[in-house]
């Protein structure tokens, strides 16, 4: 893949990506965590690269979010989605969903989202997801009991490349081979020329060994599974809990993993355990066996009256020796019994098999001595035999397990990926369920929201009043203080962003056009100085100059300067925007004045107060179409006129009449 053709990817990033195995798959699947494995690439940068790859695929150069407030709302929505994901993989992956104007990109995510919202966020699956992490490469494996051997430079280089875990030695002849066979428990010769060379030890001539690394280093695949065991197990649990179709037989995978120890060793092999324990306990058991024999013999001697012939006594006295012949004559049976007890003890304690027992029996001499002493040479031979058998067994066990696991490597990777993807789906599903979302419909014009609940309001969900609002063309939105005007703009903005990300929206029903740009200007704090005012006017003049299919949301632009001038400027901007293909909502307390200053008919919607309750205004949060809402001061004067009945209030009230 040409990484540099991804928007935003230069030569340096492209070469970093080239170092990542499976970068193309990761780009295709939006696997941000995997891309962040490239040298010098942060998670945030990886998400931008993944978005760039998606844009390239859809030929999408759209840039929907055009203002700080629009970007801020996008970030808040993303956080709400991310809070509902368990794995950091899913949190990053959600960042690849961006608001777009590209129909094919939106459609692609919609297909994903439609699947996602069908997912039941099962608590058991969520719990299991906590243990799932993207798979790591195998830890560095170094094998020291085997080596590869060649006498050819080319094979040497190929061997180092194909099997870096093993030492590769160069030898010329049988003598060199024999030397290596003494140092390593297995020597694998890679050249045909070694065929028929007779040396002691385990020397295998296998010219095809490099083609079958699993056979030569089963540790490679075992180490991969050991490093990822917990994550794979958690992914198995996720599949079971969420009733997902697995890519392999989960029981076979479970079984194979249960035979693998945390350091890549084979577990639950009784024969291997027997041999390991025998090697570990050999010295101690030999000593105990010796004591068994000596205790036995001592007791026998203590219990016996021995008649010593004069010649024996003489020989004992003269040479200080000869006790052995005395023993053999007088206590031969007891000695045999004592040595037999020692042999039995050794064989039993180490659970030796018949071949090993035969060696073990020779560890105690037939010739009577007291005290009984073991033969160190024989014990040494027994140790060698046990160690060799243990290594053979361990290698065989590793090969068998590695064979079973090699076939499961791809399915296990797919299993983990599917579990992580499920987390992405569950985050979307939870968001959709908690905010009662639906999939929006795309239409030709405007935005129509029925029963919209802004996810950005701080209020608990149950007290949020559903809002209906429909806009097409250019509209002013009037209303009482704290009636919910800003919240309505936020709702429209959030709905448009989610819809154009391809995601479900928090409303009973939404129809909207696919906007090309979203401009949301938040309320300015206080009057602007001359420079800032000039900048703002220019910005709006540019906006009015053109562009197809934009959505413009503006909150109380009047605060930029004094009310009289503001009304004139807003009226002019609205007139100009009305002549373009723009959908716009301008929230303003000066709707009446703006309308008066405009040369054309301007639509005005209003958030109405429906009454006063305990001194608080009760409002209908859904703007009423073509209705200039009365302002809070007007409502208060009206209340005073009603309650006080004084002429002055009637006079004030008259001033509010159009």
Ligand X SMILES: Nc1ncnc2c1ncn2[C@@H]1O[C@H](COP(=O)(O)OP(=O)(O)OP(=O)(O)O)[C@@H](O)[C@H]1O
Interface region with ligand X, contact rule CB under 6 A, candidates 253-261, 366-374, 404-412, 455-463: 455-463
| Secondary structure of 140-165 as H, E, C letters | CCCCCCEEEEECCHHHHHHHHHHCCC
Closest CB 487 distance from ligand X, rounded Å: 3
* Residue 429: burial class (beta carbons within 10 Å; 0-12, 13-18, 19+): buried
Contact between 607 and 480 (Cβ < 8 Å): yes
Q: Residue 320 annotated as binding?
A: no
How far apart (Å, rounded) are the C-alpha atoms in residues 284 and 549? 87
- Give the footprint of ligand X on residues 104-143 (CB under 6 A): none
Name which of 166 and 635 has its Cβ closer to ligand X.
Answer: 635
- Give the footprint of ligand X on residues 152-181 (CB under 6 A): none
Closest CB 496 distance from ligand X, rounded Å: 17
Contact between 549 and 515 (Cβ < 8 Å): yes
Name which of 151 and 478 has its Cβ closer to ligand X.
Answer: 478
Name which of 359 and 617 has its Cβ closer to ligand X.
Answer: 617
Kindly provide the residue ranges of all beta strands, DSSP E only, lying in 177-276, ordered along the sequence: 186-189, 202-205
- Give the footprint of ligand X on residues 319-348 (CB under 6 A): none
The three-class DSSP label of residue 225 is helix
Name which of 369 and 524 has its Cβ closer to ligand X.
Answer: 524
Name which of 355 and 633 has its Cβ closer to ligand X.
Answer: 633
Q: Residue 483 annotated as binding?
A: yes
Closest CB 488 distance from ligand X, rounded Å: 7
Name which of 17 and 590 has its Cβ closer to ligand X.
Answer: 590
Structure-token pair, residue 592: 């009446």
264 in contact with ligand X (CB under 6 A):
no
Interface region with ligand X, contact rule CB under 6 A, candidates 6-14, 365-373, 414-422, 458-466: 458-466
Name which of 356 and 468 has its Cβ closer to ligand X.
Answer: 468
Closest CB 484 distance from ligand X, rounded Å: 3
Counting residues that bind ligand X (by CB under 6 A) gives: 15
- Of 21, 214, 59, the C-alpha closest to 136 is 21
Closest CB 619 distance from ligand X, rounded Å: 8
What number of H helices and E strands is found in the chain?
A: 25, 15
Contact between 133 and 91 (Cβ < 8 Å): no
584 in contact with ligand X (CB under 6 A):
no
Which residue in 124, 255, 459, 534 binds ligand X (CB under 6 A)? Answer: 459
Interface region with ligand X, contact rule CB under 6 A, candidates 138-146, 175-183, 401-409, 457-465: 457-465
- Give, for 614, the enclosing helix (H) or strand (E): none
Closest CB 652 distance from ligand X, rounded Å: 21
457 in contact with ligand X (CB under 6 A):
yes
Closest CB 644 distance from ligand X, rounded Å: 26
Closest CB 465 distance from ligand X, rounded Å: 4
Q: Which residues contact 105 (CB under 8 A, 6 or more apart)?
A: 54, 55, 58, 60, 502
Name which of 192 and 459 has its Cβ closer to ligand X.
Answer: 459
The three-class DSSP label of residue 612 is strand
How far apart (Å, rounded) are the C-alpha atoms in residues 296 and 302? 10
Interface region with ligand X, contact rule CB under 6 A, candidates 252-260, 459-467, 636-644, 648-656: 459-467
Q: Residue 526 annotated as binding?
A: no
621 in contact with ligand X (CB under 6 A):
yes
Contact between 397 and 272 (Cβ < 8 Å): yes
Please provide residue 95's backbone torsions phi and psi, each rounded to the nearest 5 degrees: -70, -15
616 in contact with ligand X (CB under 6 A):
no
Closest CB 616 distance from ligand X, rounded Å: 11
Closest CB 552 distance from ligand X, rounded Å: 17
Please provide residue 604's backbone torsions phi and psi, each rounded to the nearest 5 degrees: -130, 125
- Give the footprint of ligand X on residues 460-499 (CB under 6 A): 463-465, 467, 479, 481-487
How far apart (Å, rounded) are the C-alpha atoms in residues 480 and 606? 9
How far apart (Å, rounded) are the C-alpha atoms in residues 361 and 340? 8
How far apart (Å, rounded) are the C-alpha atoms in residues 447 and 437? 16
The three-class DSSP label of residue 441 is strand
Residue 377 CB coordination number (10 Å): 10
Q: Residue 310 annotated as binding?
A: no
Q: Residue 486 annotated as binding?
A: yes
Q: Cα torsion at 546, 548, 550, 554 (round to 10°)?
A: 20
Name which of 264 and 483 has its Cβ closer to ligand X.
Answer: 483
Residue 146 CB coordination number (10 Å): 21
Closest CB 483 distance from ligand X, rounded Å: 4
Q: Residue 481 annotated as binding?
A: yes
Give me the DSSP letters along 520-574: EEPPPSSPPPHHHHHHHHHHHHHHHT--SSEEEEEE-GGGGS-HHHHHHHHHHHH
Name which of 429 and 566 has its Cβ closer to ligand X.
Answer: 566
Q: Residue 473 annotated as binding?
A: no
Name which of 70 and 360 has its Cβ closer to ligand X.
Answer: 70
Structure-token pair, residue 554: 């503006």
Residue set of the binding site: 479-486
Give the annotated binding-site residues for ATP.
479-486
Could you list the residues that contact ligand X (CB under 6 A)?
A: 457, 459, 463-465, 467, 479, 481-487, 621
């Amino acid at each position: 893949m040409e990484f540099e053709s991804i928007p935003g990817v230069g030569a340096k990033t492209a070469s970093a990506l080239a170092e990542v195995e499976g970068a193309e798959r990761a780009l295709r699947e939006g696997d941000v965590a995997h891309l962040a494995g490239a040298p010098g690439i942060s998670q945030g940068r990886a998400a931008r690269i993944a978005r760039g790859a998606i844009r390239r695929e859809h030929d999408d150069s759209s840039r929907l979010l055009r203002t700080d407030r629009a970007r801020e709302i996008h970030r808040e929505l993303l956080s709400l989605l991310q809070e509902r994901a368990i794995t950091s993989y899913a949190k990053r992956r959600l960042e690849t969903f961006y608001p777009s104007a590209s129909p094919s990109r939106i459609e692609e995510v919609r297909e994903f989202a439609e699947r996602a919202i069908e997912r039941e966020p099962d608590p058991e699956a969520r719990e299991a997801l906590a243990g799932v992490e993207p798979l790591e490469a195998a830890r560095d494996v170094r094998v020291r009991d085997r080596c590869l051997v060649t006498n050819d430079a080319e094979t040497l280089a190929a061997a180092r490349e194909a099997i870096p875990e093993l030492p590769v030695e160069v030898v010329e002849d049988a003598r060199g081979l024999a030397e290596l066979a003494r140092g390593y428990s297995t020597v694998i010769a890679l050249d045909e020329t070694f065929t028929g060379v007779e040396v002691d030890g385990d020397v295998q001539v296998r010219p095809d060994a490099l083609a079958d690394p699993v056979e030569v280093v089963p540790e490679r695949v075992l180490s991969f599974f050991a490093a990822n065991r917990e994550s794979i197990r958690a992914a198995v649990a996720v599949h079971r809990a969420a009733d997902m179709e697995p890519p392999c037989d989960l029981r076979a995978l479970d079984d194979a993993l249960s035979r693998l120890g945390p350091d890549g060793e084979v577990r639950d092999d009784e024969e291997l355990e027997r041999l390991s324990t025998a090697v570990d306990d050999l010295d101690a058991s030999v000593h105990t066996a010796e004591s068994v024999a000596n205790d036995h013999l001592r007791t026998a001697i203590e219990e016996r009256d021995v008649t010593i012939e004069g010649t024996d006594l003489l020989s004992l006295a003269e040479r200080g020796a000869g006790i052995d012949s005395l023993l053999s004559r007088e206590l031969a049976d007891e000695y045999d019994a004592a040595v037999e007890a020692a042999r039995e003890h050794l064989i039993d304690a180490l659970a030796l098999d018949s071949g090993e027992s035969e060696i073990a029996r020779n560890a105690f001499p037939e010739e009577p001595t007291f005290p009984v002493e073991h033969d160190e040479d024989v014990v040494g031979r027994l140790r060698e035999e046990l160690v060799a058998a243990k290594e053979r067994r361990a290698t065989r066990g590793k090969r068998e397990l590695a064979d079973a696991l090699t076939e499961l490597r791809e399915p296990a990777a797919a299993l983990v990926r599917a579990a992580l993807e499920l987390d992405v789906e569950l985050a979307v599903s939870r968001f959709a369920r908690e905010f009662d979302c639906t999939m929006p419909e795309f239409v030709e014009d405007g935005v129509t929201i029925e029963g919209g609940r802004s996810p950005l309001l701080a209020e608990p969900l149950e007290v949020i009043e559903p809002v209906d609002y429909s806009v097409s063309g250019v509209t002013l939105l009037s209303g009482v203080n704290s009636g919910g005007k800003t919240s309505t703009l936020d709702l429209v903005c959030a709905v448009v962003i989610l819809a154009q990300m391809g995601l479900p929206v928090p409303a009973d029903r939404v129809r909207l056009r696919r906007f090309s740009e979203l401009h949301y200007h938040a309320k300015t704090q206080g009057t602007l100085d001359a420079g800032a005012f000039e900048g703002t006017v220019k910005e709006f003049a540019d906006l009015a100059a053109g562009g197809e299919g934009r959505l413009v949301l503006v909150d109380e632009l009047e605060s930029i300067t004094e009310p009289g001038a503001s009304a004139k400027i807003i009226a002019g901007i609205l007139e100009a925007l009305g002549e373009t293909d723009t959908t716009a909502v301008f929230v303003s307390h000066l709707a009446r004045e703006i309308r008066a200053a405009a040369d054309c008919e301007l639509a005005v919607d209003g958030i109405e107060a429906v009454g006063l309750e305990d001194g608080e205004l009760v409002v209908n949060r859904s703007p009423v179409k073509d209705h200039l809402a009365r302002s809070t001061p007007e409502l208060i004067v009206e209340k005073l006129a009603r309650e006080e009945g004084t002429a002055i209030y009637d006079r004030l009230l008259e001033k509010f009449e159009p």
